[in-house]
A and B are shown apart, each in its own frame.
Chain A
Amino acid sequence: MQSRVVFVVWMSLCALASPGYGQPADALKKAQSAFDRAQVDYLQGKYDDAARGFEEAYTARQFPQFLYNVGASFHMKGKKASDPEAYRHAVEAYRKYLAAEPQAADKDKVDKAIHVLEDEIQRLKDQAAGAPGAGPASPGTPAPAPPAVPGSPPVPGGPASPGDPPAVAAAPAGPSAEVEQLGDVNVHGLVVIESEPSNATVYVDDKRKGAFATTPWSGTLDGDHRIIIEKRGYTVIDRTIAADPTKLFVLVGAMSQQSFLGWVEVTSNVPGADIYIDDKSIGSVGRTPLSQNIKPGKHTFWVSAEGYDEYKEEVDVIANEVTPIKAPLKGAPVGKVNITGPGIEDSRIAIDGAVLCERGPCLKGIVQGDHTITVTRPDFKPYARRITIQAKTETQIRVTLAPTPSRGDAIVAYVLAGGFAAGGIVLGVTANKYRDDLRREIAAGAPPPDSNDARFNRGKIYAIAADATFAIAGLTALTGVYYTFRDKGAASTAAIDVRALARALRPELGAGYAGLGVKVSF
């Protein structure tokens, strides 16, 4: 009885309090305290206490997840005791949750639960009305009054009044099959990030992923994350959290003012370009657009993106002033080629005749457009292919180079050609000797050779044989050339796969949800 009174008073105070994110920090502490207690009660099966705790938390800070947890507590109570009244409270809390979070990720699931529980309420009422042992409840054993749902009219089943209808004397045997199918309900956790002052930029895990949100923020996170909260003129808060989806996690950053810092705002015509400050060797500090504190003084900024010329600017940052850096990057969008394959480590990869990688595997960004990829390896047939590189895609080329076949047949042909040529030369020289002798003897005329001199025919035969041998040598040499350059054996091949590049993880905010998302298109 006493607790009920305290609850009503507490609820009244809650109703008087103004809701919203601008409530004092102690309200958040109060909500977290109530949430923690309610979750313990929930786990111990004290569903009424759990419901009251979650309602108390909601009264302190109006996070819709608290309303869901109220519904979950009544849901489990009704399921445990087949209590239609508890089910009714659960349905009521669920409906309020959906009203506060219309785009809730689990909206369908909650709608189904509401429908099942309403049927169960009706079933239990019908069962109670038709039961033979049913009778008015004993005046000395009134049913315990459930806590009031925040924002709802006074609970009819609250403190008993003389005019109340009698309670059901006997509980039904158990929940229906439909209720059983819904299973046990888990409460919703919540991550709350706030800062003092508010409107600070929140980065999750890495500033290079870009801004995640601005404070205050609440939503769901799971696992370990690095939270960076930054605001112009204030110290940076850098914390690592371990978020539990079933618990309320509150991170409140009290940011002290730093009047000696300057503020830079780096933008570019290419979103997501890497930003380097002062020392490129330590890696990029973020991606465009980026705003952050920085020590006053001279700094060098580099902004670069694949396929674009690097932009460099030296600025003089003044404390308490904003230094804008606009990086107009010139270039063209790029795609990536990823060349792999057996033996690729001994292969040279060239694009459009210029060496791309001295050794494979080769993963490079290439300006979009048509390019000729050539993969060469000693003692293997080269692979050449003209491909079209599209921006924001990765063209994977798995090259299988075929061994260069033996050129022994060509060598044999050349040797034969050389032999025939040598024979032709010998025959030709012999024919020339006959010719010269005949010419000399004809000119001398003492005695002149006669027309039937055998040397005429012999010389002619040698000349013809020389010609024939030269012709054979030529044909054999041509055969050798053919053997040298003919494409013998299997050609080098490659499997080409083009896929869209996975874009960087980017923060996504939604109703009841906040996280990192990746958009992939094919």
Chain B
Amino acid sequence: MRAAFAIWMIAAALPACSWSQFDDLRRQTWAGSTEKPNVKSSDYGVALQRGARAGSGGTLVVVGATPPSLSALAYTAQGSASLAAPAIELDTQYAIGQVDPQPIAIADPTSDDVSLIASSGAGSISVLTGAGQISLHQLLVQPSSVEAATYMQAPDRIDPPHAGEHPPAQPLVAAGDDVLGTFYTSPPTPQPTCKLTEAGTPIATRALGTVRAGAVDDVIAWGASGKLYRYPAAVFNGCATPQEPIAVVDTGFAPGHGSQILALDGTRVVLQGHHDVDEASFLGIYDADTLTAVGAAVALPKLRTAAVLDAAGTRYVLAGYPAAVVGGKPTGQVLVFRAAAQGLDAAPALALGDARPDTNEAFGRAVAAMPFNGTEVIAVATSHEIFVYFHAVLTDGTTLYDETREGR
């Protein structure tokens, strides 16, 4: 009996002799976690955006705060991450003393470019654009608070001597009651602006999006009143008088700062809205052509950010709830909703969180769909680290996407 007990104890302890199995397990886990790299920002990962769209591995653009920084994490094909290049110190290099709690970082749908739009002082908005190499485009405007931004295919320029030039997709920025087009080359002086109004009243833009209208993109704006507007593409080049909308619909939810209009497919957009003063939120799909809601909106509280994931043609909306209480702790989570033809599923297809969370780690404060080895994978920011899910299985057991890392 005694010998059997001793043998059992030794047998139970013997596997512990192989500590390398923990390295194997680390390699097997779906979620790769990257602690804040050598970046001065104490508040790392306040915004995420995808980097390169193709190629081996992947790139994730990360915006930090306090002090503000812009950096890129380069993921190898095997999933290990490191800083792609030294982080850009926005305060010292671009006079961006601080960034909003939810900085606006948008991706060019036509290229690998990513643009960070931030106020760089009184009367100045900086648009930092690029993929690896950053170009600064400064918008001089009063007031300089950045309300929203979107990439859009603008109409031909109208300012001499560039009138008639066909520009590439460039950011349209909402500042105050106006919207301003970002001209990559030879911006006109003064900066052309256009005030978006409804019946003469500024709509107080909280989110911008686009919808294709021929060769250009019309602008979809979500006003602070909760109404969704469609404006002509010409607003990019400025307007002498306030621009009235082509169409308007009331979403019934008044979005706060940091709300988003995300392109879901050719005609549909995802509205992510949340209040500045309470935890109410809105997540729904609208047909941008008709400005009609597609399905019911999800109104789970504490939504702060969203991104669209293309999983083998099926679109999913990644919704970040950084203040959500999970397991009794306000650690945050990300809910993944399938965007069906009839709208968002009422129940999330997948809930992601930190398996061993810290309190107030704000899991889901920023989300992104990062192209990785040819597949878009989920990237989530917390207050101090970045999670990338290289493999995902939905709650119902179906695979969202298979293991994307090479060598696994």
Q: How far is the CA of A451 from the CA of B18 in the complex (A)?
A: 19
A164 at the interface (CB under 8 A from B): no
Known: A435-B21, A450-B32, A456-B25. A462 touches B16 (CB 8 A): yes
Q: In chain A, residues 163-216, which have Cβ atoms closer than 8 Å to a Cβ of chain B?
A: none
Chain A residue at minimum C-beta to C-beta distance from B17? A467
Q: Are B29 and A460 in contact (CB under 8 A)?
A: no
Q: Are A453 and B10 in contact (CB under 8 A)?
A: no
Residue pair A454, B356 in contact (C-beta under 8 Å): yes
In the complex, number of A-B residue pairs with CB atoms less than 8 Å apart: 109
Whether a CB of chain A sits under 8 angstroms from the CB of B393 is: yes
Stretch at the interface among B203-211, B296-304, B347-355, B366-374: B347-355
CB of B33 within 8 A of chain A? yes
Q: Which residue of A428, A434, A446, A448 is within 8 Å of B14 (Cβ)?
A: A428
Q: Count chain B residues whose beta carbon lies closer than 8 angstroms to a beta carbon of A.
A: 38
Do A453 and B355 form a contact, CB below 8 Å, given A424-B13, A428-B16, A442-B25?
A: yes
Q: Given the complex, which residues of A lie within 8 Å of B385, measured CB to CB?
A: 450, 452
Judged by a CB distance under 8 angstroms, whether A432 is at the interface is: yes
Cβ of A468 to closest chain B Cβ, rounded Å: 10
| Docked pose: A450 CA to B31 CA in angstroms | 4
CB pair A435–B395 under 8 Å, yes or no, is no
Instruction: Report if A463-B355 is in contact (Cβ < 8 Å); known contacts: A438-B29, A448-B29, A452-B35.
Output: no
Q: How far is the CA of A431 from the CA of B351 in the complex (A)?
A: 28
Contacts of A438 in B (CB 8 A): 22, 25, 29
A445 touches B393 (CB 8 A): yes
Which among B17, B18, B26, B353 is the interface contact of A470 at CB below 8 angstroms?
B17
- Cα separation A250 to B147 with both chains bound (whole Å): 159
* A contact residues around B31 at 8 Å (CB): 447-451
Q: Smallest CB–CB gap between B372 and chain A, Å?
A: 15
Residues of A within 8 Å of B356, CB to CB, are 449, 453-455
Is there contact, CB below 8 Å, between A447 and B17? Answer: no
> A425 contacts the other chain (Cβ, under 8 Å)?
yes
Nearest-neighbour CB distance to chain B for A445, whole angstroms, equals 5
* Chain A interfacial residues counted at CB < 8 A: 34
Asked if B32 contacts A451 (CB within 8 A), the reply is yes
Of residues 449 to 502 in A, which have CB atoms within 8 Å of B's CB atoms?
449-457, 459-460, 462-464, 466-467, 470
The docked-state distance in angstroms from the alpha carbon of A430 to that of B293 is: 54
Contacting residues, chain B, for A445 (C-beta < 8 A)? 30, 391-393
Q: Do residues A432 and B22 form an inter-chain contact, with CB atoms below 8 A?
A: no
Q: Which residue from chain B places its CB closest to the CB of A457 in the assembled complex? A: B22
Complex contacts, A447 vs chain B, CB 8 Å: 31, 351-355
Report if B85 contacts A (CB, 8 A): no
CB distance from B223 to the nearest CB of A (A): 36
CB distance from A378 to the nearest CB of B (A): 28
B23 within 8 A of A: yes
Between B18, B19, B33, B389, the greatest number of chain A beta carbons within 10 A of the residue's beta carbon is seen for B19
Q: Are A442 and B13 in contact, with the CB atoms below 8 A? A: no
Contact with B along A109-120 (1 / 0, CB 8 A): 000000000000
Residue of B nearest to A461 (CB): B19
Specify which of B14, B22, B354, B393 is in contact with A459 (CB 8 Å cutoff): B22
Is B9 close to A, CB under 8 A? Answer: yes
On chain B, the residues within 8 Å of A429 by CB distance are: 12-13, 16
Nearest chain A residue, comparing its CB with the CB of B16: A428
**Which positions 411-438 of chain A face chain B at CB distance < 8 Å?**
424-425, 427-429, 431-432, 434-435, 438
Contact present for A464 and B19 (CB under 8 Å) = yes
B15 interfacial by beta-carbon distance below 8 Å: yes
- For the complex, give the distance between the alpha carbons of A467 and B14 in Å: 9
Q: Are A449 and B29 in contact (CB under 8 A)?
A: yes
Interface-centre pick from A427, A435, A462 (highest chain B CB count, 10 A) = A435
Partner of B12, one of A428, A462, A464: A428
Q: Indicate if A439 sits at the interface (CB-CB under 8 A).
A: yes
Which residues of the partner chain A approach B353 to less than 8 Å between Cβ atoms? Answer: 447
- Does B28 interact with chain A (Cβ within 8 Å)? yes
- Residue A441 is within 8 A (CB to CB) of chain B in the complex: yes
- Chain B residues near A442: list those with CB within 8 A: 25, 28-30
User: B94 → chain A, closest Cβ, in Å?
Assistant: 31
Q: Can you list the 9 inter-chain pairs with the closest CB atoms, starting with the nearest?
A: A428-B13, A428-B16, A450-B33, A463-B19, A452-B33, A450-B31, A449-B355, A460-B22, A431-B16
7 additional A-B pairs beyond A438-B29, A450-B31, beta carbons within 8 Å, are A428-B17, A432-B13, A447-B351, A450-B32, A454-B356, A463-B21, A467-B17
29 A-B residue contacts at CB 8 Å?
A425-B10, A428-B14, A428-B15, A429-B16, A431-B19, A432-B12, A432-B16, A438-B29, A442-B25, A442-B29, A442-B30, A445-B30, A446-B350, A446-B395, A447-B31, A447-B355, A448-B29, A448-B355, A448-B389, A450-B354, A452-B34, A452-B35, A453-B29, A453-B33, A460-B22, A466-B13, A466-B16, A466-B17, A470-B13
